[in-house]
Structures are given as structure tokens and as C-alpha cells.
Chain A
């Protein structure tokens, strides 16, 4: 069931640059389990959109199937949403994006959706550098079918039923970097102060922005021995560096000492300021990031933060050289060559 929240607004609610209140970005009441990490991520999405002053109706939110894929009903009720089929959100998002390049595309997926049934589509959306914010709510299990291990479960991780995962984990963040993704971050549903700026930055990126968000499943995978439990993630989270996101209209006010911060210009004129830079790798250098992630996987650390970024990448529309006008706005006279051209075409077949 999708419950609707009351429409009452407190008259003094703060508004953003466009006059929208926080509530304008909310959705239906969540039907996920109490304490589900996914709800925190939905909250972070709402906050990021509010802070960025995005017009809600200019967002299209798409998802696959699973607990994570239910969440688009729980935020941005003024946006069109599409709950597609299992593992195939990337292709639907590709088509939607090609039809109208002017909207912000927000894809939500889960570890079963992206690392198993939809692995092929995930990989190829990256390869095309589809302009989308792709949020993976990663709990290491199949919640909606009651807790089976997923492909992102770590070897040796124990499920609530006591079974131990014997198969190698698939690290989608490493994979995304390997495949040439142009924005890759990892975060934790319990760390909003890190997650919200990452979502804001991802929304300003002009290409495939992947956020792997570890999001514990309170019901089936939050037990002792699980490597995706709240406790485990808190204990092993290596939040490397912090970052600020500065929208286009704003000035960078905080000044950091030289050599401790790095400023990245984004497509839309906004800036990312990385401060307390990670010492172990350079987020602009794919190789060093890969090395760091491999090291972490050996020691059981969970490295979070902005892992890799290529700020001036070209998205699928640039590659396909499509016109600036959204394709869905083109009309007969733009598209149909008409009878005279058809006469020429006919002549070639005589």
C-alpha cells in the first residue's frame, strides 16, 4: 500500500531557492521494515533535492524490482516514477533519457537487481555513460523473498538463518570504476552527513554517477556475523576524506589551507570541494582508486566517500550527437522527410 502523507504544511517551513519546502520532495509513507537502511537513503535523496532546489517534476525516478526498487514511491511524489522489471531499469532509463535529455534521471536499484539478474544492463549503462544518478541500496541479501544471500554478500558473511556465504562477492563500485564509470562513490545509509553531499554531487555530474550505499537489512541481515549489519559497517567504515558540494549560484566561502583541498568544476557550473583529501589514493586517478579498493577488500574495510570522478566526461547524448531539443519534443516537420524526398527514394528503387 502507498499511503499518502497529509498535505498540511506548517506556514513557517523553510523554503529553498525556488520556494519549495522540504515536504514538496517527500513521497508516500514507506512500507519497508522499521529501521530499514533504504528509508534513510530515501530521506537523503529528499534532502539533497531540497538543498539543490530541483523542480520535483523535472525528475524521473526509475527502479527495478525488490525492496530498494519500491523506494521511489517514498520520495518525490511530484515526479513521474517507473517501477520497471527486475534488473532492467538501466535500459528503460536509457530509453527515457534518450527521449528527453532535459530531465534529471534518478535510478534506484538493489544488489539483487544490479549484481545478479541485471548485471548485463548495469554494465552496459556504464559503458554508454548514461547521464543518470544510479543509487544502489546494497544490503547483501534478497529482502523481499526473505533473506537469501545476494551476489554482493561477502565471503564468510553469516545470514540470520546461520548459513555462511561461500561465494566471492561482487564489488559493484570496483566494477564500475573498472568499466570506466565517471563518478563512483560509496556511502552508508547511516551516514547522512556524507551521503547527502554525495547525492548532490552525483546529481550535478554529466554522466553515469554511481552510488553504492551500504544499507543494512534490519530483518534478514543485521545479525552478528553479517558484514552488512549496522554494527559491522560502523566498525569497519573508513570514511576517507570529506567533501562539500557548492551549487552554481553560490560562492565558496570556506577556505581551506593549501594542499588540503581540491576544487572540481562540474558540468552545470557547480563545484565539488574535496577536503581532508584521502591520503591513500587520488580520486582523479582510476588506478590508484582501484588499488585502494582491492586492498580494502582484503582487510575487510569498507572505504566510503567519493572514490573516483572524471568531471568533464561526455554522456550518451554527446556520443550520439543528438540535437539539444529533447527528441520527444520534435514534431512532424522536424522528423518526416515528406513526399518530395519519398519521390527521390522511390526513384532509387526503379
Chain B
């Protein structure tokens, strides 16, 4: 069988044991590809465990910029004996297996349709490095070294990365470079390098960065002026707060006193986390929490309070596989309904759907403006794939004259001028009323905040008309929200579109690739990437244009489709679900196959 070949277009997978330092070596590889100017996507597939279980790291290189996940492994680096047998089977026919041959492989694991490239990584590590821990770590760098030869990965780029990573630690740099050379030289001596699969430098990453979504989300909160953060550790959201804390240490110290312009509380649970956020929001600080599905379940009572009492709050939901504990280290978009309607009674919340780290930054920053403008919770809906994996995106940008939208908050002078004021009195007709903060004015503006029904002047009442006026006003506010949320993004196609395709979040890359695959067969679909709930009016216009719209989402129950039907009253027969929910990021092929089957008459062009 002919070996796989191609320039700048392949999928490589590393099979490791978690807790062995492989993550940094694998990231080193992906980052080096990025620095060679090539579009690259890296996905960490890891267990809910700290040490000793199999973990994989998948890198897709695509000159065309298709950065969604693709099935089919062209080259696998196998260094985990536990999973080796299965790993060998996972390589696509014609692919390559780079493996540790310090020990001989059982003959029955051999395959005729792939190439075996044995490198004694562990043995070389033991021969050249004294400490057991170093041997373990350097084994990883040895295979990166081998890949520089096998794939034409520029070794100078890798060395520059090592210098950037370790800075002044010359010893560490020297040790890593030694391991890199060991691997590279071994490959050059034993194999015909490069393989059919290889890398060539391009200049496709100008203005771009490679970063994980959780870091970007944390930066969004930093730039938006969040001062109070409360959280409870939960995968995959934990690194949001880790990053926020680290950036605050760097950028939020008072230059004179060294004191903190932020307060971060690791709370006793998610109920307390959102409670802290609600308390701080009520008192005029920008506050947020980060969590995942199980945390949202626990926060629902408070989210209802914040909705009904009209208190700003920002909640980052880094979605993972559910239900229940589900698949805590796998990705899904399955908290749409539980987030949109979190809490009892008629409750609804603003959701934002970033699709890459650049949007995690921007939409998280916007979430604080929206939460204060609308005086309501705003949930930033990312997922494990976006939050924890590195993605290539446009560099973050911030205009220095940008100010925070603190919404309708009355200060002491404004209160002084006002003859009458009602906390829940809609004077502007947009459903958003004026609030006051504790401690503002000695005689004016005090009111009682409660989750019970109240009249326009914040007085407790069980009067049915007053109750109804209040909840109806909240729907006016919801309509206002639909005008303030970020609009969707359209994905045009080259031919006359025959259908629409609606998607959001991390499905974006796979959707674009699927659109191109379909177009090659003459099936033209126009895409729309939703960025918010409530739906922007452009979403309705899009749905009106097509008899059928494929709704692509990463959950079993077609939750976005349900939201579209519920919120926009779209006839359900025209919304065709395209679903993916096995816990891995959605591949383009899944979308392509599911849409393709509806067009049996289409022919290859």
C-alpha cells in the first residue's frame, strides 16, 4: 500500500500516559507548526485522572485553514504501552506509526498497511540523562526531535520556542536541545527523511495567536473590569479562574500600595459562587463566576433570583459531556436549555456563544456590558474543546478609549434632582429600569431587593396586576436584549444556496469545511453562525429565506433547534437536526454525511 503523502495537510496523534510531561512536548510541536506560518489545530483528549491513564493529543495541520477535527490519523506517535495495541489499529491505512521500540512489539500487533518507525526513545533517554524524572520528560522531546526530521518541522523554530519557554534557564534549554538533537539524528540516520507527509513554511498566521479559550475568557474579564470573582473548581472551567488570578497578580496591583484591585473567592460550592457574584453585582462591582454543566444546575435558584430581582451577573459555562457527571473531560454543547431557562418559573437568560479564543475575549468583555445594561445574568457559553485546547485566532485587540457600559445606575446628584423614582418603573419604555447602589444618598434611592413579587416602587405585593405588569416588562427587556446582543455571522457559498445551515460555537470550523465539501458536489448551503440568545433579528430573516435549515449542534436532543422553535416560532419540519454527541469535537465529515444523505440526486461536479 502506498504511504500517505501530502504537504501541510495531515492529522497527527500523540498517544501518551498522563502525568508524564507529554503535554508540554506536544504543545511544543503544535506551536512550532504555528510558527512555521501554518494553520494548526491541537486537541487534547484526556481522562478524568491525574496520573497514569492514557491521554492523546491530536494535531491537525491544514493549509486550507480547516481547523475542525478530522477523523483518520495519518501519523501516530505511540509511547503508551497501555493503549499501544488500540493505537496501532487507529492509524489510517497508508499511515505511519512512530513508536518507542525500546522493547519489541508483539508480532500480532503488526500491520502490513502502515509503516512502523521504531525509535528507542526510553532507552535513549536513560542513556543520556541521569535523573529518572528527566529521562521520562526528555523521552518526549526526543520524539519531537525525530518529527523535525520526519516531517520537516524546522528544528530552529523548535529551539527558538525552547528559548522563549525557559528564558534564562540555560541548563534546561541545553538539556532539551540535546534531547531534540538525539531524536532528530536518530531519525535522519535510520529513515528516509522526510516522509511523504511533510511541512512547508507559509505565512498564513500573520496577526494571529494560538491560545486556549479559558485564558482568553479570563482576559476578557480582566479587560472588562471584573473585580469580584467566585468559583468552585470544576473541569473544564477551572483554568478560567487560574488564568484570571494570574493576570490579576500581574495587572491589578495598586502600584503604590501593592494591594489588590480584585477579590477572588474559591467558594464552598457553586451555590455560594453565584451568590457572591449576585451580591457583588447588586452592590455595583463587576463580578463573574466560571463553571460547567453541574455547576449551572446548582446555580439555578440564584439565576432565577438575579433574573427576577434584576441584578447583573456574568457566568461562564464551559460545557462538558453530560448529563450528571457525564464525561467531564469531553466536549459537548448540551447545556443550552438548562442555561437558557435556568430556574423555576418563567425565567430566561441571555446567552453568548463564542467560537474561538478571540471571541471568548471579546464576548466575555461584552457580557459585562450587557449584564449591567440589561441588569440580568449573561452566560458565556463555551465548551471544553474551546476552553481547554489551543486554537489559532486573530490577536486580541482593545481600543484604549473603550469605556464600560455601567447601565442605568443613578448617582447621588441624579437622585437629588429626581422627584419620584421607582426601582422597577419603566420610564424609557425599553423594559430596563433605573437602579441605585447601597450607600449612594442619605435620604433617596434606598429600596428593598427581593425575589418575591413587587410593584414598580419595589414594594412587596401579591397584587396580580402588579405581578403581571412586572413579568410582562421583563419580556420588553428581553426584546431590547435582542437588539443589543452581537449579530450572527453569515457564511456565504459560491453557488445558489439550496438550504441553510445554522451552527454556533466550536462547530464553526467544521461547518465551513462541510460547506466546501458539499459545494464540491453541487450542494450549496449558506451558513449562519449564531452568537446569542435572544436571537438577533437577522436570525429570523435567515430562517425565512430557506425551506430547510440544517441545525448543527453537539448534543443529542437538538437543543438549539428547540430554542429556535420556542423563541422564533419556526415550523419544526423545516429545521433538520444535524447532531454529534460522542464527546469528541465535531468533525466536518459528520456534518457533510448527515446533510449529504438528504440530497441523493446530487452528483459530483
**Chain B residues in 8 Å Cβ range of A236:** none
Question: A95 with B276: in contact, given A78-B442, A324-B259, A350-B209 (CB under 8 Å)?
Answer: yes
Residue from B259, B440, B446, B449 in contact with A83 in the complex, judged by beta carbons closer than 8 Å: B449
Residue from A56, A80, A320, A345 in contact with B263 in the complex, judged by beta carbons closer than 8 Å: A320
Interface presence of A14 (CB below 8 A): no
| Distance in Å: Cβ of B51 to nearest Cβ of chain A | 28
* Measured CA separation A345–B223 after assembly (Å): 12
Known: A82-B448, A99-B281. 17 other contacts (CB 8 A): A57-B446, A88-B272, A91-B230, A91-B279, A92-B279, A93-B279, A95-B278, A96-B283, A97-B279, A99-B227, A99-B283, A322-B261, A323-B257, A336-B402, A337-B222, A338-B398, A349-B209
Contact of A102 with B272 in the complex, beta carbons under 8 Å: no
Contact of B305 with A95 in the complex, beta carbons under 8 Å: no
Residue from A2, A88, A327 in contact with B228 in the complex, judged by beta carbons closer than 8 Å: A327
* Measured CA separation A346–B358 after assembly (Å): 11
**Chain A residues in 8 Å Cβ range of B251:** 337, 341
Contact of B225 with A100 in the complex, beta carbons under 8 Å: no
**Chain B residues in 8 Å Cβ range of A58:** 439
Contact of A99 with B35 in the complex, beta carbons under 8 Å: no
Contact of B260 with A323 in the complex, beta carbons under 8 Å: yes
Question: A121 with B268: in contact, given A324-B259, A330-B225 (CB under 8 Å)?
Answer: yes
**Chain B residues in 8 Å Cβ range of A85:** 275, 301-302, 305, 451
**Chain A residues in 8 Å Cβ range of B273:** 91
Contact of A98 with B285 in the complex, beta carbons under 8 Å: yes
Name B's A-contacting residues (CB within 8 A).
35, 208-211, 219, 222-225, 227-228, 230, 251-252, 254, 257, 259-265, 267-269, 271-285, 287, 301-302, 305, 395-400, 402-404, 436-443, 446-452, 459-461
111-126 of chain A: CB within 8 A of chain B: 120-121, 123-124
Contact of A328 with B272 in the complex, beta carbons under 8 Å: no
Residue from B260, B283, B400, B403 in contact with A328 in the complex, judged by beta carbons closer than 8 Å: B283
Contact of B265 with A335 in the complex, beta carbons under 8 Å: no
* Measured CA separation A49–B38 after assembly (Å): 68
Question: A342 with B398: in contact, given A323-B259, A328-B437 (CB under 8 Å)?
Answer: yes
Please name the residue on chain A nearest to B216 by beta carbon. A349
Interface presence of A73 (CB below 8 A): yes
| Distance in Å: Cβ of B129 to nearest Cβ of chain A | 28
Contact of A100 with B211 in the complex, beta carbons under 8 Å: no
Please name the residue on chain B nearest to A349 by beta carbon. B209
**Chain A residues in 8 Å Cβ range of B281:** 95, 99
Among A1, A57, A121, the most chain B Cβ lie within 10 Å of the Cβ of: A57
Among A1, A323, A332, the most chain B Cβ lie within 10 Å of the Cβ of: A323
Contact of B269 with A120 in the complex, beta carbons under 8 Å: yes
9 A-B residue pairs with Cβ-Cβ distance under 8 Å, sorted by A, are A85-B275, A91-B267, A95-B277, A99-B279, A99-B281, A103-B438, A120-B271, A324-B259, A332-B402
Please name the residue on chain A nearest to B280 by beta carbon. A95
**Chain B residues in 8 Å Cβ range of A337:** 222-223, 251
- Give 3 closest A-B pairs by Cβ, nearest first: A95-B279, A91-B275, A99-B285
Contact of A124 with B268 in the complex, beta carbons under 8 Å: yes
**Chain B residues in 8 Å Cβ range of A327:** 227-228, 261-263, 280, 285
Q: How many residues of A contact B (CB 8 A)?
A: 60
Question: A342 with B223: in contact, given A57-B442, A80-B446, A94-B276 (CB under 8 Å)?
Answer: yes
* Measured CA separation A60–B446 after assembly (Å): 10
**Chain A residues in 8 Å Cβ range of B275:** 84-85, 88, 90-92, 94-95, 121
Please name the residue on chain B nearest to A77 by beta carbon. B446
Interface presence of A81 (CB below 8 A): yes
Please name the residue on chain B nearest to A60 by beta carbon. B438
Residue from A56, A84, A320, A336 in contact with B260 in the complex, judged by beta carbons closer than 8 Å: A320
Name A's B-contacting residues (CB within 8 A).
1-2, 55-58, 60, 62, 72-73, 77-85, 88, 90-100, 102-103, 120-121, 123-124, 128, 317, 320-324, 327-328, 330, 332, 334-339, 341-342, 345-346, 349-350
Residue from B223, B398, B403, B438 in contact with A96 in the complex, judged by beta carbons closer than 8 Å: B438
**Chain B residues in 8 Å Cβ range of A346:** 209, 395-396
**Chain B residues in 8 Å Cβ range of A335:** 225, 227, 252, 261
Please name the residue on chain A nearest to B215 by beta carbon. A349
**Chain B residues in 8 Å Cβ range of A338:** 398, 400
| Distance in Å: Cβ of A77 to nearest Cβ of chain B | 7
Contact of B228 with A80 in the complex, beta carbons under 8 Å: no
Please name the residue on chain B nearest to A127 by beta carbon. B268
| Distance in Å: Cβ of B262 to nearest Cβ of chain A | 7
Contact of A334 with B260 in the complex, beta carbons under 8 Å: no
**Chain B residues in 8 Å Cβ range of A328:** 227, 280, 283-285, 437
* Measured CA separation A341–B228 after assembly (Å): 21
| Distance in Å: Cβ of B35 to nearest Cβ of chain A | 7
Please name the residue on chain B nearest to A336 by beta carbon. B223
**Chain B residues in 8 Å Cβ range of A91:** 230, 267, 271-276, 279
| Distance in Å: Cβ of A134 to nearest Cβ of chain B | 14
* Measured CA separation A165–B449 after assembly (Å): 35
Please name the residue on chain A nearest to B395 by beta carbon. A346
* Measured CA separation A92–B275 after assembly (Å): 5
* Measured CA separation A60–B227 after assembly (Å): 20
Please name the residue on chain A nearest to B223 by beta carbon. A336
* Measured CA separation A341–B250 after assembly (Å): 10
| Distance in Å: Cβ of A5 to nearest Cβ of chain B | 14
Contact of B398 with A98 in the complex, beta carbons under 8 Å: no
Contact of A78 with B448 in the complex, beta carbons under 8 Å: no
* Measured CA separation A339–B402 after assembly (Å): 10
Among A96, A102, A342, the most chain B Cβ lie within 10 Å of the Cβ of: A96
Contact of A92 with B263 in the complex, beta carbons under 8 Å: no
Residue from B224, B265, B448 in contact with A98 in the complex, judged by beta carbons closer than 8 Å: B265
* Measured CA separation A307–B208 after assembly (Å): 63
**Chain A residues in 8 Å Cβ range of B257:** 323-324
| Distance in Å: Cβ of A230 to nearest Cβ of chain B | 29
Contact of A83 with B448 in the complex, beta carbons under 8 Å: yes
Contact of A2 with B459 in the complex, beta carbons under 8 Å: yes
Contact of A57 with B272 in the complex, beta carbons under 8 Å: no
